Structure 1
């Protein structure tokens, strides 16, 4: 169907610009982003799968041939995260030569391999290998193209390069929702099916994503960079409502000007300034300046808070935690509800952040989630629940308290602090460092996630479950204080104003700018390859 539509870009019956409705112009961009989101859905599945894998391999399932101890279990919940930065290192070498679309297609092959390895595994090393493959492939998918100073995340680059400015923000926000839906699907399937059956069912998604990506075009930006001008015109025509090539010629020429290709296609471009090429030494010096290390410190702090406030480990070990606390509802149902409220929190964040700003929404997020974990810690202490051991726990009429507040903490975390660092990554860095800085930010985020999951069981062994939850609560309260002093309000501000703030040339106020801003610097930056 999509292939037939794509062929219409060459048809004399393609709709002219004046006859195309806003819906028709937006529809192909929405379709392309939805196809990309199927890929992110699969990535989210790899993040949610350890949650149902951990209880199945903890020695509580009689017919399961693989049984792991506490140390191995801690690796199950974390090893995939530490492999993501490794994939980041190769992402640029993969994406830039072959294109965004083909790179997104190819990562489905190792995803499919990992799911089959899970299904047929009969030894622990196969489980760990499959987890490493999912993490490494996730790095190839999400990581920045660090070999070029103006590249961006593979999937985010695809969205940025195929969408028009007025649709870009809304469509970009669907990426996080797709990942959360992928995680939620694992919680839901794990409620009714054995983990091997879930792994086999998951094989459908990479096959589907690979197939659907055949029918959407490559980004015109990448095609122009490779001097494939006719293909670039066809791509733009498809994305702008399946129109004729003549109708998109002006947009094509503008993209060529922005990419310095105007002379090659025979159009004059006297107004476009020459972008100087920096030497390797000059590029490295950019990362010693205040406008890099200061925003990088804030982003790193945000990632630290998002993983050590407790929600990351709750997400990974939720089934064991709900079982230990004797949730009044089934531990698998409770985990499904946890995933649902995470999705609702993400939707609320996308909706509310434009009105109340990043500072306020993250104060609410951190203080609220900190209070939730503090209450759960008190309950665990009073009930004398020290370790993750459901067998020694007695029923009581107040066991709804920890379940309610843990689920509330998930909503509050995804309302702000779990989303904040990813939003900041695209805003606070200068044009010259944004791509590489985004990669470094994503890498430190996954490293923090690895350590948070890896040390969780050890922390419970040393300071008990109440002590661990009190630690998470303290991190949230301390984080709210630090962000109050160091996080400027960037919502609605131009990238130029944000960059000047971190250079020390001006100071951003803490008011939310709600009027529309034509951010030329951002548009130009996104258009480069």
Structure 2
């Protein structure tokens, strides 16, 4: 069954909010690494969720796996840590371009729909320009899994940068005289960059996970989310500096992506992939660089290569009969979390979060924000980046449900406040700061829950054998809902007015609170097997006991 949802290496999900969910499972073949891991945040449960590369991917073997996490892995020295961090950072520079592509419509839309400019897009054309990437991202994700296996991690990063440069170049030299030609050029460019965004969803995280020592892996795989947010913030800032012509922004983004392409050249290829392709000598050579070991025939390097080779052999000999995906979907431990996560994504999309991210500048005008709309977009990007960092600590302490409840409540209050400001304008009063404060508060509260949790929890709630398929199916649903709301937003504003659109978003957020309270499970402090048992109807895990076990690991 061919699908984006079932890539060979890993399932990594991206949305315009910049959050990436990385899922390794039995269903996701890592080209010889043989790890089962859910990388979401660096909370106390990371160790309980990770089966090291030299251990079997069996949920029941978690405790034994944790006890030998470092077996077969060269020890982490300071020099090796610096080398691995630099390699992961360089690989993730590619993701900054993807973040730029996500946020670009926000800063281009103002000029493209301005009737005083030489070429103007219609409302329908502008909405296609903003939303088309949501449809193309899953296809890029499908292509990513294929390329990672066939050509390797490093060459896949090359492909992403080359495709992105082509997209930025098309927009940089887009027509200045013919609106119909401009529209075609923009759609072609956005289709290309949509594929690039989906394509970039996997390689950097996979590369970081495979070159990093287990002690660094969790932190380094989180670089992807941060780099996406940085990319969005950068493109918002460039839009503020070059608000008269978005083509300059495209040129700068294209040059940046070209530089990113050059920085990939010195990166060593993943030893895990090389072993999977029966190139142990090359794998050993690059592993020595990554582990900062100069000696030939070093015992730690030999041991790690042997561990990787054993995993390859074990994986190739472990083919067993598996029931079809459709049969698996009928099981309660699958259809229950699938239903919950799809509904959670529905509330996420229709509460207006992605509308603000993609239409940040024009939305600020609709909301009556007093400051420059491009500066408002910068505030949106900055708030999102800062809150994403805070979210990792908040989730560690409070779990998933409390932040989600607070997030929905805050979002609803902010949207109701914006609706009130639309009915009773405050632009020419001493209270003209209120819409700006409400917009920033909305992004802050959204990032604490509704913006981030659907993606992170999507990696936790499914059984291992179906996780790749089910998680991907959920993300595909989320992309579809994203396309619908982004395409519909301009029409909604024209049809029912700003105040009613804001009211609609607020009511959806309010209903989302009810959904979270009654249906969203708490996953903090529970192993993946505990969560699976919970949905199957078995005994629910004791969170405190699991936390204690994880802290000892």
Q: TM-score range by the shorter chain?
A: 0.7 to 0.9
> Could you give the per-residue CA deviations for residues 431-464 of structure 1, whole angstroms, max 9, x where no partner exists?
2122233322332222221111111112222332
- Cα offsets for 1:382-438 (capped at 9, x unmatched): 23xxxxxxxxx9623222111111111111111222111221222222221222333
Counterpart-to-counterpart distance in 2, 1:110 and 1:134: 7
- When normalised by structure 2's length, the TM-score is 0.79
**Residue 488 of structure 1: which of 521, 525, 536 is its match?**
521
Distance 1:182 1:204 in 2: 14
**2:388 — aligned with what?**
346
- For residue 443 of structure 1, what is the aligned residue in structure 2? 476
Q: Contact between 1:354 and 1:492, CA under 8 Å: does it hold in 2?
A: no
Alignment pair present for 1:460 and 2:493: yes
Distance across 1 between alignment mates of 2:402 and 2:543: 10
Aligned position for 1:115? 168
Q: What is the rounded CA distance, in whole Å, between the counterparts of 1:20 and 1:157 in structure 2?
A: 21
In structure 1, the residue matched to 2:59 is none
Of 131-140 and 238-247, the range deviating more from structure 2: 238-247
Change (3 A) 1:321 1:101: same
2:233 matched to 1:174? no
Q: Do structure 1's residue 497 and structure 2's residue 530 form an aligned pair?
A: yes
Question: Aligned-pair distance for 1:381?
Answer: 1.9
**In the alignment, structure 1 residue 138 sits paired with structure 2 residue 197:** yes
Provide closer, same or farther for how the CA distance between residues 232 and 410 of structure 1 changes in structure 2, counting only shifts above 3 A.
Answer: same
| TM-score, normalised by the number of residues in structure 1 | 0.83
Q: Which residue does the alignment assign to 2:98?
A: 43
Residues 326, 518 of structure 1: CA spacing in aligned structure 2 closer, same or farther, 3 A cutoff?
Answer: closer
Residue 376 (str. 1) matches residue 427 (str. 2): no
Q: 1:509 to 1:395 in 2, by over 3 A?
A: farther
Q: CA deviation at 1:377?
A: 1.1
1:114 to 1:512, Cα distance in 2 relative to 1, 3 A: farther
Q: Which 10-residue stretch deviates more, 119-128 or 419-428? A: 419-428
Q: Given the superposition, is the C-alpha separation of residues 92 and 394 from structure 1 closer, same or farther in structure 2, using an over 3 Å criterion?
A: closer
Deviations 1:476-522 (A, max 9, x none): 121122122222221232222222222222324676954463999xx
Cα contact 2:73–2:213 (8 A) shared by 1: no
Shift of 1:326: 4.2
**Are 2:463 and 1:430 aligned?**
yes
The one of 176, 187, 199 equivalent to 2:236 is: 187
Give the corresponding residue for 2:291: 240
Question: Which of 333, 357, 371 lines up with 2:375 in the alignment?
Answer: 333
Say if 2:157 is the partner of 1:87: no
1:126 to 185, 189, 196: 185
1:105 to 129, 139, 158: 158
**1:310, 1:519 → 2: CA distance?**
42
Q: 1:67 aligns to what?
A: 120
* Equivalent pairs, count: 472
Post-superposition offset of 1:325? 4.2
User: Structure 1 residues 432, 20: CA separation in 2 closer, same or farther (over 3 Å shift)?
Assistant: closer
Q: Structure 1 residues 95-104 or 110-119, which shifts more? A: 95-104
For residues 442 and 473 of structure 2, the distance between their equivalents in structure 1, rounded to whole angstroms, comes to 28
Counterpart of 1:203 in 2: which secondary structure? helix
How far 1:290 sits from its partner (Å)?
Answer: 2.5
Aligned to 2:108: 53
Aligned to 1:472: 505
State whether residues 237 and 378 of structure 2, in contact with CA within 8 Å, keep that contact through their aligned partners in structure 1. yes
Deviates more, 1:215-224 or 1:410-419: 215-224
> Displacement, 1:86?
2.6
User: Among 65, 80, 91, which residue is 1:25 paired with?
Assistant: 80
Tell me the SS of whatever aligns to 2:465: coil
Asked if structure 1 preserves the Cα contact closer than 8 Å seen for 2:93 and 2:260, the reply is: yes
CA 1:27–1:254: 2 relative to 1, 3 Å: same
Aligned-residue CA RMSD in angstroms? 2.6
Deviation at 1:135, TM superposition (A): 0.7
Deviation at residue 255 of structure 1 after TM alignment: 2.5
Measure the CA separation in 2 of the matches of 1:517 and 1:75: 47
User: Please, which runs of 5 or more residues in structure 2 have no aligned partner?
Assistant: 1-71, 176-181
Residues 510-519 or 70-79, more deviating: 510-519
The C-alpha deviation readout for 1:320-374, integer Å capped at 9, x for no partner, is: 2323444332221111111100111101111221111111122121211221111
1:260 and 2:303 correspond: no
Name the counterpart of 1:203.
254
**5+ residue gaps in structure 1?**
1-16, 143-152, 265-273, 384-392, 521-529
Show CA shifts across 1:160-210 (max 9, x none).
Answer: 222233322222222111111101111100111120000001112322222
Q: 1:325 to 1:444 in 2, by over 3 A?
A: closer
Structure-2 residue corresponding to 1:220? 271
